[in-house]
Amino acid sequence: MKKKGTARLGLLLTLLLAFTVVLAACGGDTNNSKATGNNNVPADNAGKAAQPVEKVKLKVATWAGAEELREFEELIAKVNTSATDYEIKVQSIPADYYQKLQTMIAGKQSPDFMWLSQEYIAQYASLGAIAPLDEHLSGIENYNAEDYYQGTVDVGTYANKLYSLPWISQPYMLYYNQDMFEKAGVELPTNDWTWEEFIAAGKQLTKDGDWGALLNNIPTSMYTWSYGGDVFDKEGNITLDSPESIKGLEMYQKIVNSGITPARAQADSMGNGDMFKTGKVAMYVGGASDDFERTANFKIGMVVPPHGTEQVTFSWIGVTAMANTTANPTVATKALVDMTNAIHKWKVVAPTKSGFDEIKTSRPDKEYAVETIRQASEIARGFNNQPKQGEIDGAIWEKLTQAIEKGEDVNTAVQSTIKKINDITK
């Protein structure tokens, strides 16, 4: 009986031992998980006493793949060559980027830097995944806060702290097919067009199976901005039901009801940009660096999108944020500034005033509209992003945008959207 018990105990101990070995193998080194392989690098304080013995190793996660990745790697190689105290390594995640990033952060394997689209900044900041930069940026010579267009800085700010540096800002522009305008005898759009003028022109251009305009890219909030409203103010209070916001949304419904745009489903299935490229629509709102000038077979013009009481346009803004877990935030911030400055000379449209003119050399096809794009960059902005922006975007799409497009009462749609947003943020 005793022997049997001993054998069982032995077996149990063997299993436990093996189980522990497996767990230990899976667990990894907690120090390693704090930063990406830079334990042997002196931290901020230690660095004061002695010269760094080795460059700080940093990792930047990007969604870039293929050609874009190759160009980015070349850019990083140049940055690394001139750097004395850090070395950046590129980690490409071309598919399921945010899911993988989330898993890496959850597994304490966060990259030191990560590319983010603007709507993720508040979320990542509120969850403590990314670090505020203000303190570390103050001593960096080649960082010039004044050089950035205000809208691009605003989207990277959460709770009055700056969490990211923008590397691209694509203001939305109104492209138009000059041939269609001339053929229909319609006056060409201007930079100070109102929405009313836009609708009037659109009606004249909507004929023979062609459409006046396609605006599906415009986020619904941009119509509220156009009349001085917003979904949230900068403090995060809901302002969707303000008279200004309602006026903007009513204008959106007026545009939809005017019949100058194809149904969203039709445009989605035919490809929004393709409809413009193939001359099916006369006006199209797209990013400033879209390639219509290279691909379309007609004369193209570009102006700032129409306005209500305010002239404003949406901008798609890409940023790089720094992980909260990076081991040497001072050196990392310096690397972030160097890397971001280098990207401004690569990506168009740059979010800085000094980098803006790069567009002339990298995209000569845009030269005709450089001043217009500059004007748009000055008035461009992103959302007042909230920590639960992902869910809020879903609510806006479901309760507001779709309802307005279906012709439902704007006030009712707004109240229904606010109720849903309150449920999300409670």
Partner 1 sequence: MRSKRNVGYFYISPWIIGFFVFTVAPLIFAFYVGLTEWDTFNKPKYIGFGNYLDLIQDEDFRKSLWVTIKFAIISVPLGIATSMLIAILVNTKVRGVYFFRTALYLPAIVSGVSISLLWKWILDTDFGLINLLLSKVGIAPLGWLTDGSLVMPSYLLMALWGAGGGMLTYLAGLQDIPGHLYEAAEIDGANAFQKFKHITLTMLTPVIFYNLIMGIVGSMRKFGDAYIIGGAENEGRFYMIYLYENAFKFFKMGYATAMAWVLFVIIMLLTLLAMKSSSAWVYYESEVSTKKKKKVR
- The binding site for partner 1 (CB under 8 A) comprises 3-4, 7, 10-11, 14-15, 18-19, 22-23, 26, 98-99, 102-103, 105-106, 123, 127-129, 265-266, 268-270, 388, 390-391, 394, 398, 402
By C-alpha distance, which of 282, 269, 323 is closest to 178?
A: 282
Question: Can you tell me the distance from the alpha carbon of 191 to that of 188, in angstroms, rounded to the nearest whole number?
Answer: 10
Considering beta carbons, is residue 106 or 188 the nearer one to partner 1? Answer: 106
Considering beta carbons, is residue 77 or 106 the nearer one to partner 1? Answer: 106
Considering beta carbons, is residue 35 or 251 the nearer one to partner 1? Answer: 35
Minimum CB separation of residue 52 from partner 1 in Å reads 30
Q: Judge whether 199 and 255 are in contact, CB under 8 Å.
A: yes
Q: Judge whether 334 and 85 are in contact, CB under 8 Å.
A: yes
Question: Can you tell me the distance from the alpha carbon of 355 to that of 147, in angstroms, rounded to the nearest whole number?
Answer: 9
Minimum CB separation of residue 10 from partner 1 in Å reads 8
Q: Coil, strand, or helix at residue 284? A: strand
Minimum CB separation of residue 110 from partner 1 in Å reads 9
Minimum CB separation of residue 311 from partner 1 in Å reads 33
By C-alpha distance, which of 75, 286, 273, 337 is closest to 170?
A: 286
Question: Can you tell me the distance from the alpha carbon of 369 to that of 5, in angstroms, rounded to the nearest whole number?
Answer: 86
| Residues 6 or more apart in contact with residue 107 via CB below 8 angstroms | 33
Minimum CB separation of residue 8 from partner 1 in Å reads 9
Pairing of strands 161-162, 380-381: unpaired
Minimum CB separation of residue 126 from partner 1 in Å reads 9
Minimum CB separation of residue 263 from partner 1 in Å reads 8
Considering beta carbons, is residue 186 or 327 the nearer one to partner 1? Answer: 327
Q: Coil, strand, or helix at residue 139? A: coil
Considering beta carbons, is residue 327 or 350 the nearer one to partner 1? Answer: 327
Which segments of 345-425 does DSSP mark as H helices, in order?
358-362, 370-379, 389-395, 402-405, 410-425
